[in-house]
Amino acid sequence: MSEQFSEQGGAATMDPNALVRWLTSQFIRKLIKPQRLSKQRKIVEKKRLAAGDKHIVEYFHQLDDGYSHLCAQVLQAFCQRYDIVLRCHLVTGATGHNSAEPELLQQLSQYDANLIAPHYSLESPGANPSLDRDAIQQAQAILAAQSSADFAALVSDVSAALWAGDKATLNKLAEQHGAVSAQQREEHIAKGNSRRAALKHYSGAMFYYGQEWYWGVDRLHYLERRLAELGVDRDPAAPLLMPRFEVEPGRQKDAGTLTLEIYPSLRSPYTAMVFDQTLELAEKTGVNLVVRPVLPMVMRGVPATREKGVYIFTDAAREARSAGVPFGNFYDPIGDPVRRCYSLYPWACEQGLGNQLLSSFLSCAFAKGVNTNNDRGLKQVVEQAGLDWSVAKTLVGQTDWQELVEENRLAMYRAGLWGVPSYRLLDSQGEQVLALWGQDRLWLIAREIERQLTFKAES
Write the DSSP assignment of 262-278 as a string of letters: EE--TT-HHHHHHHHHH
94 vs 241: which has the higher pLDDT: 241
In 3-state terms, what secondary structure has residue 243? coil
Rg (alpha carbons) of the chain, rounded to whole number: 24
Q: Which of 82, 67, 191, 6 is nearest to 440 (CA)?
A: 67
pLDDT tens track for 124-161: 999 877 899 999 999 999 999 999 999 999 999 999 99
Longest alpha-carbon distance in the chain: 76
Helix (H) or strand (E) holding 85: strand 85-90
Indicate the pairing of strand 422-426 with strand 259-263. antiparallel
Q: From residue 159, how far is each of 25, 142, 214 by CA, in Å?
A: 42, 11, 20
CB 265 within 8 A of CB 271: yes
The vertex-131 CA angle with 125 and 134, nearest 5°, equals 135
Q: What is the arithmetic mean of pLDDT over 350-377? A: 97
CB 289 within 8 A of CB 263: no
pLDDT at residue 119 tops 80? yes
In 3-state terms, what secondary structure has residue 418? coil
Give CA–CA dist 88/79, Å, rounded: 12
The vertex-155 CA angle with 125 and 133, nearest 5°, equals 60
Give CA–CA dist 362/312, Å, rounded: 16
Burial of 284 (0-12, 13-18, 19+ CB in 10 A): middle
CB 372 within 8 A of CB 378: yes
Cβ neighbours, 10 Å, residue 412: 21
Q: What is the pLDDT of residue 348?
A: 98
Q: What is the arithmetic mean of pLDDT over 368-395? A: 97
Q: What is the pLDDT of residue 303?
A: 74
Give CA–CA dist 68/159, Å, rounded: 9
pLDDT at residue 162 tops 70? yes
CB 93 within 8 A of CB 68: no
Q: What is the arithmetic mean of pLDDT over 77-96? A: 95
Poorest-pLDDT segment among 103-117, 178-192, 426-440 = 103-117
Poorest-pLDDT segment among 1-5, 163-167, 284-288, 401-405 = 1-5
| Residues ≥6 apart with Cβ < 8 Å to 391 | 347
Under the banding of pLDDT at 50, 70 and 90, the label for residue 16 is low
Beta bridge partners of 423: 262, 436
Tell me the H-state helices in 8-100: 18-31, 34-51, 66-72, 75-81
Domains of the chain, with CATH numbers? 35-229 (3.40.30.10), 259-458 (3.40.30.10)
Give CA–CA dist 250/198, Å, rounded: 45
The pTM (predicted TM-score) of the whole model is: 0.94
Q: What is the pLDDT of residue 4?
A: 42
State the DSSP code for 110: H
Q: What is the arithmetic mean of pLDDT over 377-394? A: 98
Under the banding of pLDDT at 50, 70 and 90, the label for residue 99 is confident
Under the banding of pLDDT at 50, 70 and 90, the label for residue 103 is confident
pLDDT at residue 13 tops 50? no
Give CA–CA dist 104/100, Å, rounded: 9
Q: What is the arithmetic mean of pLDDT over 393-412? A: 96
Q: Encode burial over 383-399: b for 16+ CB neighbours within 10 A, e otherwise.
A: ebbebeeeebeebeeee
Give CA–CA dist 151/77, Å, rounded: 13
Helix (H) or strand (E) holding 261: strand 259-263
Q: What is the arithmetic mean of pLDDT over 395-410? A: 96
